[in-house]
Structure 1
Amino acid sequence: MTDPSRARRACRPEWLAPAGLIALSLVPMAAGASRLTQLSTGGTVTAENARFFDSPVPVIAHIVGSTVFLLLGALQFAPSLRRRRWHRYSGRVIAPAGLVSAASGLWMAVAYDLPANSGPGLLAIRVVLASVMAGGIAYAVACIRRGDVRTHSAWMTRAYAIGLGAGTQVLTILPWVFLVGEPGQAAYTMLMAAGWAINLVVAEIVIRRRARSSTGPVRVANGSAGAAAARLS
């Protein structure tokens, strides 16, 4: 007879990564929910949020797309879910949500007036990363359609790392605010870039660990792609 406590201990490591990713997403998701509330209830218009009231569709699309992408995407890191059809079916929601998040983020970066603490350097970073995120998701979808699970997994992981940037940026910016004060334009750009850089470094570590755990090229028929993805967990 299986010991329930032992079973719980065995399951715990599997859910550490998804739980951590969701926890990291909570602050930006809460900020997004607050923004949606302001827009829907006619909150006070200030110099900082006027651009959202003037053109609300991109920011609404970004909040909704990012929330779906981050929440469902975090669950893709649970091996038990990756072994089920849920992985494939949820992926059909995650990929479009990620594309909406990236496209709306790109639109806001180039079409909205720059906030006071943002400059051309941060604008360039946002444009590049949003483009890489969108392109990575599109490439990942193309790879899984031809059965290349390893490349699909790698590029979806990189796209998720970019999408999760707002969560890590809370951790890079808050200590600066507490210790130094509000960051200027150059410091803000550096701290924002650090959040994305940390995520991408961690993503590459995860990708390389998966590659070492498997031998030879991982290619499967389209109908078996979802099942084979479990072997990369």
Structure 2
Amino acid sequence: MTTTGAPPRTARSVGTAPRNRVGWTWILLSSLAIAVYAVSPYLTTPLHELAGDKVGLAAAYEGKPAWVHAVFYAHVGAGGIALVLAPVQFWAGLRDRFRVVHRAVGRLYLVAVLVAGVAALTLAPVNSAGMVGFFGFGTLAILWVGTGWRGYHAIRGGDVPSHQAWMIRNVALTYAAVTLRLWTGLLMGLQSPWISSGADADAAFANAYAAVPFLCFLPNLVVAEWLVRRRRLPSFRLVSPA
């Protein structure tokens, strides 16, 4: 696999078109919404109370050992920080006019990705989606940390186009926190005609959640690669051009 592409546009040209602003605004608002909805309960309420109220994945982790709780909270907290900061890094005005702030926020974002990604990889063997979750969420964690490292390595070497390409891919993986919940809701909705009781609802959620470990991030990566090529940034090809 090699990285190829036409001469890239400058960093200033990326993310300035009106349609890109609309997309950025959607990503910003949806990321903030999920950060508040999915993270804030764990910061304000004990895990056993959340488990009793069937909030999120609290019930799946409440009975686990203390070290699992610690890793779970590290993943939730750092993942929430990464989700909030990710859209900020694509704010063209901040990136172009306040480079020092952009770099500082970028470092904090990458540290959050590292912590949340390592925590996610640690949790993969005890996830609530079984072997599909182990491979799906485990792959997501490895790609999340790996693309973040490649983005950091590229900018340290002064390769701005490659940095932009890797960070687009990385943020697409961060955004899996949003798409996971969108896909779960959609799959639950598709099963709604057959849901008639609480037990049926639990089974429908289990069915939906079993599909999302890969579904939450693979389409995101396809879109990310399309954006990379559309912006003429270095992209992946399976074979070298002749």
Structure 1 CA distance, aligned partners of 2:64 and 2:108? 26
Question: What is the CA distance between 1:180 and its match in structure 2?
Answer: 0.6
Counting matched residue pairs gives: 199
Cα pair 2:188 2:208 within 8 Å, conserved: no
Counterpart selection for 2:42 from 24, 35, 41: 35
Q: In angstroms, what is the RMSD of aligned CA positions?
A: 2.7
* 1:124-175 alpha-carbon deviations (Å, 9 max, x no partner): 1111110111111112111111111111111122121112112012221212
Q: Which runs of 5 or more structure 1 residues have no equivalent in the other structure?
A: 1-9, 215-233
Structure 1 CA distance, aligned partners of 2:44 and 2:65? 12
1:180 corresponds to which residue?
191
Structure 2 CA distance, aligned partners of 1:81 and 1:152? 17
Calculate the TM-score normalised by the size of structure 2. Answer: 0.72
1:19 corresponds to which residue?
25
Question: What is the CA distance between 1:11 and its match in structure 2?
Answer: 8.9
Calculate the TM-score normalised by the size of structure 1. Answer: 0.74
Question: What is the CA distance between 1:97 and its match in structure 2?
Answer: 0.9
Q: Classify the secondary structure of the residue corresponding to 1:48.
A: helix
Structure 1 CA distance, aligned partners of 2:40 and 2:164? 29
Cα pair 1:95 1:137 within 8 Å, conserved: yes
Q: Which runs of 5 or more structure 2 residues have no equivalent in the other structure?
A: 1-15, 53-58, 193-202, 235-242
1:42-57 equivalences under 5 Å are 43=49, 45=51, 47-51=59-63, 54=66, 55-57=68-70
Cα 1:122–1:44 change in 2 (3 A) is closer
Structure 1 CA distance, aligned partners of 2:108 and 2:50? 34
Q: Which has the higher contact order (CA 8 A, sep 6+)?
A: 2
Cα pair 1:119 1:185 within 8 Å, conserved: no
Question: What is the CA distance between 1:28 and its match in structure 2?
Answer: 4.8
Aligned sequence identity (%): 27
1:74-223 equivalences under 5 Å are 74-83=87-96, 84-85=98-99, 86-110=101-125, 112=126, 114-115=127-128, 118-181=129-192, 182-183=203-204, 187-211=208-232
The AA in structure 2 aligned to 1:17 is G
Question: What is the CA distance between 1:187 and its match in structure 2?
Answer: 4.8
